[in-house]
Structure 1
């Protein structure tokens, strides 16, 4: 796993504004962007437990949860053979995950635009878990390749 720069042709770039959160990791793999995304979203039990806890805690605040959306995963916003962009907007923040395959490298980037103080607090609280979940996803992709 390598912290990386997201190639400039990624479909997410028009959304990125000053002050937004954007992190990118990359790994060499023969997997397609879609295959890498599917592996990334196949969280281990400990991560699924954290997400259930998150849903329980934020539901009273009126934030979207997996059960309120009626489906696991995230809506696909954009997809080509080389890139898949998923995510959603909520009242506290907008977020997207893009998986871009370029020159044998899969780049996974998470973008977050905080809409208000709740979004800033939320992102600060989940950041340590975000990093652990993302590192776990990158390891699964690397092992599959």
Structure 2
């Protein structure tokens, strides 16, 4: 596997996730170069989460233990998906690991989760020769804002590390 270049960029304006930016308390976007592919955005997402580094899953386990103390959901691990289920079998509303599908097209998938403290959405969008992974968070209260003080710095390491591990062939 070659070392991939991952760039921080603005959320592409033509994407569906860009429509969700209004009032966001946190957002970011990372792009990685890929060879042209006929795979759907969801198939690419499944490749990304299948390549989740062990340290990320360890951080998710720690996160789940800590947040349960304040009544938040145990999300499980990022890569907790059914490896036997093809991307084409998923529909809007289906659970895919820690998220549910909110929007689904061949070019873009938006996955999200809501809890009492925040609403998070993650988009994987196929561009001409890149994949853009965008995250948009709307906090609901002080707990959400405090939560993001800890999660945002970790997120900025998790997304690039996970993209770097993915195998886009």
TM-score between both structures, scaled by the size of structure 2:
0.76
Q: Does 1:106 align with 2:131?
A: yes
- Any unmatched runs of 5+ in structure 2? 1-5, 77-94
Would you say how many aligned residue pairs link Structure 1 and Structure 2? Answer: 142
- Specify whether residues 105 and 133 from structure 1 end up closer, same or farther in structure 2 by C-alpha distance, changes over 3 A only: same
Q: Which residue of 1 aligns with 2:10?
A: 5
Q: 2:21 aligns to what?
A: 16
After TM superposition, the structure 1 = structure 2 runs for residues 29-68 of structure 1, keeping only pairs within 5 Å, are: 29-30=34-35, 31=37, 32=39, 33-42=41-50, 43-66=52-75
> What is the CA deviation profile of residues 66-98 of structure 1, one whole-angstrom value per residue up to 9, with x for unaligned ones?
25xx97331111111100100111110100100
> CA contact under 8 A between 1:39 and 1:137: conserved in structure 2?
no
Q: Which structure 1 residue ranges, 5 or more long, are not aligned?
A: none
> Relative to structure 2, which stretch is displaced further, 24-33 or 95-104?
24-33
2:47 and 2:146 map into 1 onto residues whose CA distance is 29
The aligned counterpart of 2:156 is: 131
4+ aligned runs moved over 6 Å, structure 1: none
